[in-house]
Structure 1
């Protein structure tokens, strides 16, 4: 089994928020959810158990930096995995978001190379989806589990040992679920030409996704995975500046609901064609916390005024 090293997926201080996007287009992301939601699929893609991984001694409480001992150098030619501690929490299903801690060791010397997420400062949640890479490490582990994964030498680096603590599992359909606006929420005004101008209020930006339906359309309902045509303007909560606008480009954008960041996805699914919506999303539901992603909007709470123009069923 060939798997991508998790270190390569955990750049920027071990953060693994797998978000991507490009300026001047819709707020795109790698898909973050599957329609199957089947834990059994993740069980099947997990790295198999092996004696080398089992030989690694790991002690300490889950969530705290472990004490790891093994007889170096470890010699093996294929990836191995064991569940050192089996948690009794929720089992990871395809598309679920996992908050975790990670320590990485050199299999040749036993030296600790990286560590993050322990002692109350977890790495930002990551979606675990079939074929994503991390699926082979996490498999269908349960919340509260401690995993040991050994990966052989490859073109990208030497042999490694990972200790991964599964701290929290959030079901895909509950991640960044939209709520009604709180007391502090932006406002929007439309020009005679239908161009929105968003005003950011004074006060701290809210967590999660908050959504207000400004005008409810009478068209078809947007379902998960549908392709939508949308007009939108996006601004930063921090300074109110516009960072992207289909109105300014003169034409709406088209994309799948599962191809955008979580907050934007929540703003679309379940709404009807013709609806105008104002939505705010904190960094975890957008492009990640500052330092967790190289995207220029990482760390920003984003606000969108959007109108659903058309929908095409998947």
Structure 2
């Protein structure tokens, strides 16, 4: 099934967040290296023009709440158009930023509301803006607090839509919580100016059981089993003392569902933590890639240390 280029919303009020153009899902962290960023720096000039269709939409309601619209039906939508109806007083968004936004979508032919998403915390993961994505082409370098109307042409699968997007905030790509004091004898984490961690392992015997410590305590939504979570991670092997994988230098990683799709210890590390937090977790082989003869290619038999920054969460429905 083809997907809408921004967010697909079902008429039956079951709201489903789908992938944005230019911002694809990533696979489980492993030893294969980090994904690379494909964002373009020219976000302001990427915004599509306002037009007759988008300018004809009248919008009411508070930015951040579900938007109410009025327009003559059916609205003739022949091209992607974007009109700023409220200019926020926050900073301009930049290419590569992860933003929290709210979306209300209407059927351009009937005027019926398809659905809404992002108005409550934990209902939508932060999304990355780039000049190559439809989201970036609609918002451009809009300021935080802005409300934008987009008209989306239809096709054989989806009717044309009117989409109202509210830019709520730019989400940091590193944990921002209050620093905590870890217990003695745990791996020591040092942060670069951009938040990239490095790990110093303590002397002594290698741990044989799963352990974790919260290094920063965030003020956001608590992560639960089944949630989707956006994270930054840095992985070090206790056996080899080498970094085997990281998201830093690329793009944050999406755990599609806590409890599945990643090793057990990675899920245990983030479950129960809050958005904005940073944790360091020690995963013995039983919580990582399994026991057996130590193997660098698939990390079998190795005890791993992960530093994980929790950037955003979408609660399980």
Q: Which residue of 1 aligns with 2:125?
A: 124
Q: 1:14 aligns with which of 17, 20, 43?
A: 17
Q: How does 1:156-171 map to 2 (within 5 A)?
A: 156-170=157-171
Distance of aligned partners of 1:28 and 1:9 in 2 relative to their CA distance in 1, 3 Å threshold: farther
Work out the CA distance in 2 between the residues paired with 1:28 and 1:70: 49
2:314 — aligned with what? 289
1:250 aligns with 2:253: no
Q: Which residue of 2 aligns with 1:71?
A: 72
Counterpart contact for 1:16–1:126, Cα < 8 Å: no
Q: Equivalent residue for 1:176?
A: 174
TM-score by structure 2 length?
0.60
Quickly say closer, same or farther: Cα 1:31–1:242, change in 2 above 3 A: same
Distance of 1:212 and 1:250 partners within structure 2: 16
Task: Determine if contact 2:181/2:215 at 8 Å carries over to the other structure.
Answer: no
1:161 and 1:133 map into 2 onto residues whose CA distance is 14
Instruction: Give yes or no for contact 1:15–1:124 (8 Å, CA) kept in 2.
Output: no
Measured against aligned partners, the alpha-carbon deviations of 1:159-181 in whole angstroms (never above 9, x if no partner) come to: 000000001124xxx42257896
Q: CA deviation at 1:116?
A: 1.8
Secondary structure in 2 aligned to 1:6?
A: coil
- Give the number of equivalent residue pairs: 249
- Alignment of 1:199 with 2:199, yes or no, is no
1:31 is displaced (CA, Å) by 5.0
Encode CA deviations 1:120-143: one digit per residue, 9 max, x unaligned. 666331111232332112211110
Aligned to 1:138: 139
Q: 2:57 — aligned with what?
A: 56
TM-score by length of 1: 0.60
Q: Check 1:8–1:135 CA distance in 2 against 1; reply closer, same or farther (3 A cut).
A: same
Shift of 1:114: 1.1
How far, CA to CA, are the matches of 1:181 and 1:278 in structure 2? 17
Partner of 1:82: 83
Q: RMSD of the TM alignment (CA)?
A: 4.8
SS at match of 2:7: helix
Shift, 1:20, TM fit: 2.6
Shift of 1:27: 8.8
Correspondence for 2:192: none
Q: Which runs of 5+ in 1 are unaligned?
A: 226-231, 254-275, 293-314
Cα distance between partner residues in 1 of 2:315 and 2:236: 29
Contact 2:88–2:143, Cα closer than 8 Å, also in 1: yes
Q: Distance in 2 between matches of 1:200 and 1:161?
A: 49
Matches within 5 A, 1:28-67: 31=36, 34=39, 38=41, 41-67=42-68
- Decide whether aligned partners of structure 1 residues 110 and 12 sit closer, same or farther in structure 2, where only a CA change above 3 A counts: closer
Q: CA deviation at 1:151?
A: 0.9
Distance (Å, rounded) in 2 between the aligned partners of 1:277 and 1:180: 22
Q: Secondary structure at the match of 2:45?
A: helix
